[in-house]
Amino acid sequence: MYRAETTSVGGFIQQLAVSCVGKGYFFYVVGSIPEGKDPYAIDQKLIDRYGIDISKWARARRKRAGLANLRYLRFQRFFVLLATHGQHPFFEEEAACIKDIRRTPIKFAGYSVSYRAGHPHVRIEQEEYKQMKAYFLDLAVHRSLVNMERELAQIHHEPYAPVRRQLLCILRAVNQARKTAGFTPVTKQVFRFRRRVYRPFEPAIDSGGPWPELAPAEAAS
């Protein structure tokens, strides 16, 4: 049975970036299932229409024959259909909506997922990043060290390498403001630099339960 529904934002982004974009699924359409419609019925309709539920062996044969393969992912009511290079009815039926992730990132839940320099690229979406930076700069000279560390530690984005660079940029700006005002700087240890590895289709781990397995932040650049 094809599994399409991810159970967390982190799992959705991981599956999208690492298991789809990182494997050549560059062409996509996104959508949102309207309230009142059954997401599982929509899942099955799209999976059946585009022949997505096939084995890895069948995918390999299709690739060798010059045919495209498709993947489908959903988190709550947001979904994405992705395709590789090749021939497929998807390119005709969705022609007006198809985008190429190498040119146009997928933006979801404060993330921007694209493909750069031969790798999937996950970062904080630009407008979200600007707002986040402005927020922390406003707090920089109005919070004690402990409270500033607490605020920064609440950033929820998984530290893929581009996210990590963005976080350090925010920290440098915050510390420059704190230095000018005579405040104690914040150390980078406030951030988590190893991302969680999610089991995207399994129930999310409770906040009070054990941490998921950890993996290097560079797993997706």
Together in a domain, 45 and 88: yes
Together in a domain, 119 and 130: no
Which pLDDT score is estimated for 217?
40
The pLDDT tens digits of the residues spanning 13-39 come to 999 999 999 999 999 999 999 999 999
In this structure, is residue 163 part of a structural domain? yes
Together in a domain, 155 and 136: yes
Domain stops at, among 89, 104, 124:
124
In this structure, is residue 21 part of a structural domain? yes
Degrees (nearest 5) of the Cα angle 157, 113, 66? 145
Which pLDDT score is estimated for 1?
83
pTM for the whole thing? 0.89
Degrees (nearest 5) of the Cα angle 149, 153, 155? 135
Distance CA 102, CA 116 (A): 7
Together in a domain, 18 and 109: yes
Which pLDDT score is estimated for 211?
35
Task: Please determine, for residue 10, whether its predicted confidence score (pLDDT) is greater than 90.
Answer: yes
| Structural domain boundaries enclosing 35 | 5-124
Distance CA 110, CA 163 (A): 11
For the chain, the domain total comes to 2
Together in a domain, 111 and 42: yes
Task: Please determine, for residue 207, whether its predicted confidence score (pLDDT) is greater than 90.
Answer: no
Distance CA 29, CA 50 (A): 13
Task: Please determine, for residue 118, whether its predicted confidence score (pLDDT) is greater than 50.
Answer: yes
In this structure, is residue 204 part of a structural domain? no
The pLDDT tens digits of the residues spanning 128-183 come to 999 999 999 999 999 999 999 999 999 999 999 999 999 999 999 999 999 999 99
